[in-house]
A and B are shown apart, each in its own frame.
Chain A
């Protein structure tokens, strides 16, 4: 996968997991986003989530989930896409606009620094906090041999 696609996958994932409020809060420090026109949506639909029998066997359909998608075209030509879990249309449209803007090499460094990286850091901290809480409930077995 080309490096550009890999970084695009990363920011799309970060925007999908951030709330509209959290993204919006980062935009104050960011360069203004180019105006955009909606190509499709934002619209809410379903994605069928699949699991695997035994965790690693044949795929099966587990359950649907709500997903909102949006596609926009930016003045300048880039097309931005977003697929985000849940039903927040504002989040999907903003994520699509940002995806479009982030494809612009002149805007990307500033948007990465002011929006994407701070969101990634906040997410990493929340993940780490949960991991620390889980670690505090890890059983530390001791045996009679150790007690002597």
Chain B
């Protein structure tokens, strides 16, 4: 594919960007949107941009949302571009999600489980009726009710099944996982590579693929073993210190999807799991990721790979919305010379096609 430099657009581009800035600001008689307002009041948009931009920084994600006029894929792109300007300090100790400070934790497989069902701040059970009271600025809502917390431990649901031997144990691999920010994707991809790809993948793409597995494209009988959302501590061992320190906290959402497995020649029938882990509060994404993660294990578990969600090249090569948008949107850049040559070819073919019947006439 060839691109030819075209000059002469500078003034038009400059003026277009000036107009973009004006439309971004909108009606100047209204107060300008401030970044902390986005952090506080559009927190789920911030979460999505951090997840797909693959960089946890609430203020930067909010700034990206403001700059992109609320285009969340554009915002993720801005965050990805920014991160390339920063040095890498190291890798964290793997998160301990069992030690999460839980804001929400629900299980669809056990009603009474240690730690209980904690609904947290959820849209579930709302009636999805537009609330016109929010259109009029008013008093802030009353603080949420509180109840004695106690020292409730919330062990993983998958652990309850594993103890009975009914859940396939995770491979306890100690190998250094590949890092997609450093090494390009290669196939076949190991599970850690797939999980990194899915964690930063587009929510809509994963939602559609996850949905397809439920509708019969890939044999899947999932239950939500558990969804938990809350805060986890990040630990790092700086080489100059030589011991592990806590450097802060991040919010994450984890989904453990429990799936049937009929067994294979080497393994008895048991449950298997699909795993989803995303930054911030993103249940839809975590659940979709877990469905797709399980579908992608088909090969490892000796199941037939027949559906799109089970095809790792298809899934992993098309999940990244920054890559996808780059290639789709490049089509609007000048292709004048490419198209000129196509035009020549089509004209020549048409001329030949209209000539031939006359030549065939005796």
Q: Measured between C-beta atoms, what is the minimum distance from B211 to chain A in Å?
A: 22
Q: Measured between C-beta atoms, what is the minimum distance from B143 to chain A in Å?
A: 8
A85 to B117: give the CA distance in the assembly, Å.
Answer: 31
Name B55's contact: one of A16, A64, A138 (CB within 8 Å). Answer: A64
B147 touches A64 (CB 8 A): no
Number of A-B residue pairs, CB cutoff 8 Å, is 231
B57 touches A87 (CB 8 A): yes
Residues 1-16 (chain A) with a chain B CB within 8 angstroms? 1, 5, 9, 12-13, 16
Counting CB contacts under 8 A, is B243 at the interface?
A: yes
- Residues of B at the A interface (CB closer than 8 Å) are 50-51, 54-57, 59-60, 83, 86-95, 97-98, 101-104, 111-112, 116-121, 144-150, 152, 156, 158-159, 170-175, 177-181, 191-193, 195-196, 199-200, 233-234, 236, 238, 240-241, 243-250, 252, 254, 256, 273, 275, 277, 279
Chosen A-B contacts, 17 in total, with CB atoms closer than 8 Å, are A1-B243, A13-B233, A46-B55, A47-B234, A50-B93, A53-B191, A53-B275, A58-B172, A62-B195, A63-B199, A81-B240, A85-B249, A86-B248, A132-B149, A133-B146, A138-B117, A138-B119
Residue of B nearest to A128 (CB): B149
Apart from the given pairs A47-B91, A58-B170, 20 other A-B contacts in the complex at a CB distance below 8 Å: A1-B243, A13-B245, A16-B248, A17-B249, A47-B247, A50-B95, A51-B199, A53-B275, A58-B191, A59-B192, A60-B199, A62-B277, A64-B55, A64-B88, A128-B149, A133-B146, A134-B120, A135-B150, A137-B121, A141-B112
A65 touches B245 (CB 8 A): no
Counting CB contacts under 8 A, is A45 at the interface?
A: yes
Residue of A nearest to B93 (CB): A50
A54 touches B256 (CB 8 A): yes
Name B56's contact: one of A49, A134, A139 (CB within 8 Å). Answer: A49
Q: Measured between C-beta atoms, what is the minimum distance from B299 to chain A in Å?
A: 15
Interface size in chain A (residues, C-beta < 8 A): 54
Chain B contacts for A51, CB-based, 8 A: 94-95, 97, 195, 199, 252, 277
A12 to B248: give the CA distance in the assembly, Å.
Answer: 10
Q: Measured between C-beta atoms, what is the minimum distance from A119 to chain B in Å?
A: 13
Q: Which among A22-30, A66-74, A104-112 touches the partner chain?
A: A66-74
A48, A57, A67, A134 interface centre (most CB from chain B within 10 Å): A134
Q: Measured between C-beta atoms, what is the minimum distance from A123 to chain B in Å?
A: 10
A50 to B196: give the CA distance in the assembly, Å.
Answer: 9
A123 to B286: give the CA distance in the assembly, Å.
Answer: 28
A81 touches B275 (CB 8 A): no
Counting CB contacts under 8 A, is A98 at the interface?
A: no
Residue of B nearest to A44 (CB): B86
Chain B contacts for A57, CB-based, 8 A: 170-173, 191
A65 to B104: give the CA distance in the assembly, Å.
Answer: 23
Name A45's contact: one of B88, B101, B144, B233 (CB within 8 Å). Answer: B88
Chain A contacts for B234, CB-based, 8 A: 47, 49, 65, 85
Name B144's contact: one of A64, A84, A136 (CB within 8 Å). Answer: A136
Chain A contacts for B91, CB-based, 8 A: 47-48, 50, 61
Q: Measured between C-beta atoms, what is the minimum distance from B249 to chain A in Å?
A: 6
Name A54's contact: one of B83, B103, B275 (CB within 8 Å). Answer: B275
Chain B contacts for A84, CB-based, 8 A: 247-248
B118 touches A134 (CB 8 A): yes
Residues 104-148 of chain A: 1 if any B CB is under 8 Å from the residue's CB, otherwise 0? 000000000000000000000001111111111111010000000
A20 to B207: give the CA distance in the assembly, Å.
Answer: 40
B196 touches A62 (CB 8 A): yes
A59 to B191: give the CA distance in the assembly, Å.
Answer: 10
B56 touches A9 (CB 8 A): no
Knowing A45-B89, A60-B196, the reply to whether A55 touches B97 (Cβ < 8 A) is yes
B147 touches A138 (CB 8 A): yes
Chain A contacts for B152, CB-based, 8 A: 135
Residue of A nearest to B102 (CB): A134
B243 touches A9 (CB 8 A): yes
Chain A contacts for B95, CB-based, 8 A: 49-52, 62
Chain B contacts for A49, CB-based, 8 A: 56, 92, 95, 234, 250
A27 to B309: give the CA distance in the assembly, Å.
Answer: 56
A139 touches B87 (CB 8 A): no
Q: Measured between C-beta atoms, what is the minimum distance from A13 to chain B in Å?
A: 4
Chain B contacts for A139, CB-based, 8 A: 116-119
A47 touches B170 (CB 8 A): no
Q: Measured between C-beta atoms, what is the minimum distance from B82 to chain A in Å?
A: 9
A85 touches B248 (CB 8 A): yes
Chain A contacts for B247, CB-based, 8 A: 16, 47, 67, 83-85
